[in-house]
Amino acid sequence: MSTLDSRITDTKAILERIAADFTPAVFASSLAAEDMVLTDLILRAKLPIAIFTLETGRLHKETVGMIAKVREIYGYEIEAYRPETAAVDAYVAQNGLNAFYDSVEMRKECCRIRKVEPLNRALAGKRAWITGQRRSQSTTRAELAVQEDDPAHGMVKFNPLADWSEEDVWNYIRANNVPYNPLHDRGYPSIGCEPCTRAIQPGEDVRAGRWWWENPESKECGLHVVDGKLVRIKQTA
């Protein structure tokens, strides 16, 4: 059995265990390549794991288009959670539309309004949530565990692709004809909101295009952070 075959088998087993032991569980999809792998695995197996995305209001049209692509190919409607209109309007009125360029604090406040608060609503009442994070994506994720306690949300968090390489992800996508965001073909290995993501140059870190004006150590949006630190409080075997 190849390394990828072994990883697929392990990932399927993790997802099946989540479905059996942690219902209701949800998968938070960014609609990027890793998350399309998990979407394919979940929907092919018809697992009772709901899939949602955070529609921040500033995503690329190609990213938003992936919702329709999943509907077309899998017959599944990904639920979109959006920020509170009043909070967005207040931020823009007080600070300007693109205030996130002014400081890390202003950028994180934008992320809080557009991503963190909607995530909290999406996770309310759930026992576990799933992400497409991988260890090799960035220095901030080097210690990523497959299963973690998430004290911020009072539940278990799973990262089933933690030990997958980028090559694994793309080999799976190509072998299984999995739809993917066309921005990946234009130099975007990591995709977030449109103004906060750029294409990268050959040899750059895969997340170099995210919040490209900041230092690498600050490049997290708050979805996986508590009190300024990554949620790595307790890893569960």
Q: What is the DSSP string of 35-55?
A: HHHHHHHHHHTT-SEEEEEE-
Instruction: Tell me the binding residues for [4Fe-4S] cluster.
Output: 110-111, 193, 196
Residue 120, classified by CB atoms within 10 Å of its CB into exposed (0-12), middle (13-18) or buried (19+), is middle
Q: Which residues contact 193 (CB under 8 A, 6 or more apart)?
A: 56, 58, 59, 114
Between CA 81 and CA 123 the distance in angstroms is 11
Phi, psi (deg, nearest 5) at residue 130: -120, 140
1 is catalytic: no
Q: Which of 221, 222, 223, 224 is catalytic?
A: 221
Between CA 225 and CA 232 the distance in angstroms is 9
Copy the structure tokens of residue 4.
Answer: 């990828």
Copy the structure tokens of residue 184.
Answer: 């990946």
Catalytic residue annotation = 221
